[in-house]
Amino acid sequence: MIIEATGVEKAYGATTVLDGVDLAVREGTVCALLGPNGAGKTTMVRILSTLIRADAGEIRVAGHDVRREPAAVRGVISLTGQYAAVDEEQTGRENLVMVGRLMHLGRAAARRRAGELLERFDLTDAADRRVRTYSGGMRRRLDLGMSLVATPRVIFLDEPTTGLDPTSRETMWDAVSELVRGGTTILLTTQYLEEADRLADRIVLLDGGRVAASGTADSLKAQVGGSRLDLHFDRRSELDRAAALLPGVVDVERLVLGVASDGSAAHLRRVLDDLADAGVDVARADGHRPTLDDVFRAVTAASPSARAGVPA
């Protein structure tokens, strides 16, 4: 395990942000941290990357104690935060060369590394333009490139694709996959469940400052159950009556009741017949296999932010 954390705690005054979090990440893999707003994801990343100190717990990154050896930890990690940390008045190439010189690369080596990263992130054509002319996706790719100048063993990505268009997001996903194939370890926080499903070898779901669930995407989906039948209603009153008759997950905003199903037509007919006999009108019924969204809703069902359907 290249990241090992046990019993991590952090509070700000009377507000507990992390309450005994355990985390283990195998080298050369992607671990995704999911959870509702305020679950403690960004705080955990900031602790692991030595930006803030935990109140309690044991934490090691690449064998180094985060509390006692912060300089050693910083020597093997890189952090890409929620906002691109680039100099808008410099060109893309100048930003990369600057970081190379700060990392004590020689002038020629810094320019060579900058050229490699510009090509990797499809920025060669824009290399000598000022960054203030870049799109949001281009800035994000440059930001990730800057974090790779020194080829770190561990990269922390805190919501790296928030606000990007689908094409830019795909480019970032490809870059992350390429890094992992090369042996780099990625700890990722994300608002996009699809992103975690596609990239992560392991997912850790935080809720209320604690680990609510962890495992592979497939194992987490299996915990939710088999197929699910989503019943859509036109009125809240119909949803409430259906929920009183059938056990399931209620989505008030979407007026949907999700019930466990074996995926058969017979089960669908039986559910619709039972509701019709009770005088409940169903607008539409959809069947599908469990997704990470189902996992998120099921595991954090007691969280107000989860009921609002806002993963972060």
Cα end-to-end distance, the chain, whole Å? 25
Q: How far apart are CA 25 and CA 4, in angstroms?
A: 7
What's domain 3-221's superfamily in CATH?
P-loop containing nucleotide triphosphate hydrolases (3.40.50.300)
Percent of the chain exceeding pLDDT 70 equals 94
Q: What mean pLDDT, rounded, does the chain reach?
A: 87
Hey, what's the torsion of the CAs at 60, 190, 155, 169, to 10 degrees?
170
Separation CA 157–CA 267 (nearest Å): 43
**Contact yes or no for 20/27 (Cβ under 8 A):** no
Instruction: For the domain covering 227-289, report its CATH number.
Output: 3.30.70
Per-residue pLDDT, 311: 38
Q: Which one is predicted more confidently, 30 or 259?
A: 30
Burial degree of 159 (CB within 10 A; 0-12, 13-18, 19+) = buried
The closest of 96, 126, 121 to 111, measured between CA atoms, is 96
- The model's pLDDT over 201-221, given as tens digits with 9 standing for 90+, comes to 999 999 889 998 899 988 888
With a cut of 60, say whether residue 312 has pLDDT above it. no
Distance of CA 250 to the CA centre of its chain: 24
Give ranges for CATH 3.40.50.300 in the chain: 3-221
Cβ 154 vs Cβ 76: under 8 Å: yes
Q: What is the pLDDT of residue 18?
A: 95
Q: Which residue has the higher pLDDT, 52 or 138?
A: 52
Q: At residue 68, does pLDDT exceed 90?
A: yes
200 pLDDT exceeds 80? yes
Mean pLDDT over residues 220-232, rounded? 79
Work out the pLDDT band at 78, boundaries 50, 70, 90. confident
Mean pLDDT on 275-294: 86
Residue intervals of the chain classified under CATH 3.30.70 are 227-289
* Whether pLDDT at 111 is above 90: yes
Q: What is the mean pLDDT of residues 88-100?
A: 93
Q: At what angle do helices 107-120 and 92-102 cross, to 10 degrees?
A: 130
Quote the pTM value: 0.72
Contacts within 8 Å (CB) and 24+ apart, 25-28: 25/1, 25/185, 25/187, 25/202, 26/1, 26/2, 26/185, 26/201, 26/202, 27/1, 27/2, 27/153, 27/183, 27/185, 28/180, 28/183, 28/184, 28/185
| Position 240 pLDDT exceeds 80 | yes
pLDDT of residue 226: 65
